[in-house]
Each structure stands twice: as structure tokens, then as C-alpha cells.
Amino acid sequence: MAKASLSYVCSSCGAATSKWSGRCEACGAWNTITEDAGISAGPPKKTLGKSRGRTVPLTDLSDEEAPPPRTSCGMNELDRVLGGGLVPSSAILVGGDPGIGKSTLLLQAAAQFARAGLKVIYASGEEASAQVRMRAQRLGLADASVKLAAETNLRDILTTLEAEAPQLVIIDSIQTMWADHVDSAPGSVSQVRAAAHELTSFAKRRNTSVIMVGHVTKDGQIAGPRVVEHMVDTVLYFEGERGHQFRILRAVKNRFGPADEIGVFEMTGAGLAEVSNPSALFLSERGQPTPGSAVFAGIEGTRPVLCEFQALVAPSPHSQPRRTVVGWDGGRLAMILAVLEARCGIPFAGLDVYLNVAGGMRISEPAADLAVAAALLSAREDTALPAECVVFGEISLSGALRPVGQTENRLKEAQKLGFTSAIVPEGGKSGGTSDMALTRMSDLAAFVGEIFGA
């Protein structure tokens, strides 16, 4: 009899190899190759399958075959991130650091979806049912009609689900699930992949939505192979700084709605509270205008969000000055420093630079370039920017300012929060309907001259 040969799999990208090595050849990650206890599939089949798959012309699909409509849970921040409510038969992965509040969020969501009329099962492999109940009591949800299951065996869970036929299942967490046909420990790459696959196919087959919780590794990826992210319809990250009470639910992939959408919550003594006006929250700690502070009018998903960039520039005691960034991309900061030096003649050599986005927010929009430059210049020149002024615009390597999308929405949000002026790139769509005083700039050097008189 042929001996079953071992195979290996990369826990980062999911690539399979026949021998172990220190570095994955597919994605280049180190120390990610682990033994793969593959599912026993038998010898490869050379013949075609016996049954013939069915195909349907797209035009023949009638409205009756269309899936039932989405369900809103009433937590607007969650509904919006999902793309306007929960899609039936969808598979959703919610990732986040341990202790960030995933179980709290999903227990609240479970109760809300049950209230909205769905049959909901909350399967916890991390806590006993009594513990989940205690948490529910603390959250004031003890009377919610959610069924609990404290299970880790995937087969048992699937049997329960077949019998109960719920419309929504929450699996907390995918790393605690254990499939007995896979010969490796719970939490291993093969187990996570097998459990996610079984649950996703159950979702599609039985018209049940499945929300899976996934822990995140130190380097910020969902523990388990990337293939899990490809398998599901929607990937959400629940993030935030431990010291801050704000939590952000971010859609990084969504087959049924816009990616990049965020929902903002606040962790309170009685669970997560929705924050319907995040701009006010992110700017709440701002006092008098200080050097190094610039307010950016950004867009997160479909919604404008204002937040504050804070910079500190100080002479460096080190031969290699420090560049520390929280909430923004380090490479992009280096680029803006280089443009300031090359195009405006403002050097940062010999200076330590610290950049922070207030409130634990993370910004990835290039439209924030000008706000970053403004904060850096304001810190370096020790001059505060005009009060009640917002800034946005993309900076190109030539030092030119490029217009960005949704100027109108950004200005409206700023006006709503009491801002009266804005510095924006030239050439964008006019902010005709808002009463903001606009200063339009064509390049970074003009901006430096206008604001700092250099």
C-alpha cells in the first residue's frame, strides 16, 4: 500500500509544497511553512465525475430565484459595514486582536438580529454557555432569543445546525473549531482551513449566514491561511487601541457592499455603543490650535470623517533620526518628507519626526498627504495653522497638488462641525454649495509660502 506522503502548507498565503523550508517560495514569508494534514482524498481521479452539473442562462433567472432581501439588525454602524444589512447565505469573517471586543460585538449583534426576526445560534468554543450568559446579562441582553452552543467539534456543530436550521450562526472562534477528519491540532492551518470550508459550504447549501471570528497574529493577519479570506464573502477587521475606548469595524473585503466602509463604536461598561458622528468624537480632544496639528477632512467608505493629524519635530540626538508613525503609512511619510526637502527646500535631516492620528484612527487615503505636510510644517516652524481650517489633497512627487474625490462631501462635513475655511488643491470640483472659505493651491511650495510665509 502506498504510504501517505506528507505535505506542507504556508500559513501566510496557503501555498502547498512537498518539502519543508524556512521560507515560503510563493510569498517569501519566513517561518510560515507548517505540516499540512491534508484531508484524505484518495488517489486522484482520472475519469470525469458521474453526475453532470447544472447550468442556467443568466437571463432565465427569475425574481423568485433571487435571494431574500438583507436583514438589518438596527445597529446602523454594523449594518452599513455589511453593505446595508446581512445578506442571506453569506459567510463573514471578523478578525481582530484578542480582547478588542469581538465576542462582545457579535453577542450584541446576535441579540439584535434575533430581535429583527432571525433564528440565531451563537456557538462558542472559547467560553462555556454559562459564561456567555453572564456576559449577556452584563450587556442587558439576557432575554434575547439567541440559542447558545458551547461546542468545538465541527461535526457536532454541523449536526446541530442541520437540525435547527438557523438563519444566522456565529462561530466564536474559527481557531477553536476542530474537524475530526483532519489529523492536526485545533488552530493549525489545516484545521482552520477545513473548518472555514465546511462552514462556508454549509452557509451556501442551507441558506444560513455564518459569521466566523478569527484571531489576528502579531503581524496583523488573521491567523490561518489567506485562503480563508478568499473563501468568505466578507472580511471585517475590528480594530482599535487598547488604551482608547474607540473601536473601528472596517470592511477590507465585501462581495455585497463597498470595501473600506467603517463603523465606529465606543467600548463602555455596558458593551459597545454606536458612534453615529465619528468626526465629533475624533476631534473631541482638540483644544486651542497648537503647532503640529492639522485637521484632515477624509472619506471612509461612503462617509466623510474628520480627524486630526499631530506631528512633533525635534532635533535628533541620534546619527540616524527617528521616523515614528501611528495611524498612517511610514513609506508615505518618507515620501512627503522627501518632497518637502526637494521641492520646497525644507530639510528634515537631523530632526526626529513623530506623526500620529488622534483617537486611534488609521488613515490610508492619499488625500491626507496635504494634511500630513501641513502638520509637519506647522510642527517644524512652531506655528499653528489657522483655527477652524481643514486640509486635504494629494501630493505628487513633483510637488504638485492633485485634486481628490468627494470635495463637496468633505466640505459639508467640516462645515457641519463648525469649520469655516479649507485649504484644497486647485482644479477639483468646486465646493459651490458650501459656505466655506476655500484657499486653492496648485503646488506644495505655494502652500508653504501662503501659510508659513517662507
The answer to whether 287 is annotated as binding is: no
Establish if 104 lies at the interface with ligand TYD (CB under 6 A): yes
Residues 105-144, mask of contacts with ligand TYD (x by CB under 6 A): ------------------------------x--xx-----
CB count in 10 Å sphere of residue 5 = 7
* Segment interacting with Mg ion (CB under 5 A) among 5-13, 103-111, 333-341, 439-447: 103-111
Q: Is 204 annotated as a binding residue?
A: no
Ranked by CB distance to Mg ion, the top (closest) residue is 103
**Residue 73 beta carbon to ligand TYD: minimum distance, rounded to whole angstroms:** 17
Q: Minimum distance from CB of 106 to Mg ion (Å)?
A: 8
| 70 forms part of the interface with ligand TYD (CB under 6 A) | no
Q: Does 243 engage in binding with ligand TYD (CB under 6 A)?
A: no
Using the minimum distance from each CB to ligand TYD, give the nearer residue, 100 or 195: 100
- Determine the interface stretch with ligand TYD among 65-73, 96-104, 181-189, 227-235 (rule: CB under 6 A): 96-104
214 binds ligand TYD (CB under 6 A): no
Task: Point out which residues pair with 441 in neighbouring strands.
Answer: 425
Q: Is 211 annotated as a binding residue?
A: no
- Give the interface segment with ligand TYD, choosing from 99-107, 185-193, 220-228, 258-266 (CB under 6 A): 99-107
Does residue 50 have a known ligand-binding role?
no
| 99 labeled binding residue | yes
Instruction: Spell out the SS3 assignment of the chain.
Output: CCCCCCEEEECCCCCEECCCCCECCCCCCECCEEEECCCCCCCCCCCCCCCCCCCCCHHHCCHHHCCCCCECCCCHHHHHHCCCCECCCCEEEEEECCCCCHHHHHHHHHHHHHHCCCCEEEEECCCCHHHHHHHHHHCCCCCCCEEEECCCEHHHHHHHHHHHCCCEEEEECHHHCECCCCCCCCCCHHHHHHHHHHHHHHHHHHCCEEEEEEEECCCCCECCCCHHHHHCCEEEEEECCCCCCEEEEEEEEECCCCCCCEEEEEEECCEEEECCCHHHHHCCCCCCCCCCEEEEEEEECCEEEEEEEEEEEEECCCCCCCEEEECCCHHHHHHHHHHHHHHHCCCCCCEEEEEEEHHHCCCCCHHHHHHHHHHHHHHHHCCCCCCCEEECCEECCCCEEECCCCHHHHHHHHHHCCCCEEEEECCCCCCCCCCCEEEEECEHHHHHHHHHCC
The residue (of 16 and 134) whose beta carbon lies closer to ligand TYD is: 134
Q: Which of 11, 32, 89, 103 binds Mg ion (CB under 5 A)?
A: 103
From ligand TYD, Mg ion, none, which one binds at residue 271 (CB under 5 to 8 Å depending on kind)?
Answer: ligand TYD
Binding segment toward Mg ion, per CB under 5 A, in 5-13, 63-71, 97-105, 443-451: 97-105
The stretch near ligand TYD (CB under 6 A) out of 143-151, 163-171, 269-277, 384-392 is 269-277
74 is in an annotated binding site: no
Q: Is 53 known to sit in a ligand binding site? A: no
Residue 97 beta carbon to ligand TYD: minimum distance, rounded to whole angstroms? 7
Residue with cell 492639522: 294
User: Binder to ligand TYD among 42, 53, 57, 99 (CB under 6 A)?
Assistant: 99
Residue 102 engages ligand TYD in binding (rule: CB under 6 A)? yes
Binding residues for ATP: 96-103
Write out the residues near ligand TYD by the rule CB under 6 A: 96, 98-104, 135, 138-139, 267, 269-271
Write out the residues near Mg ion by the rule CB under 5 A: 103
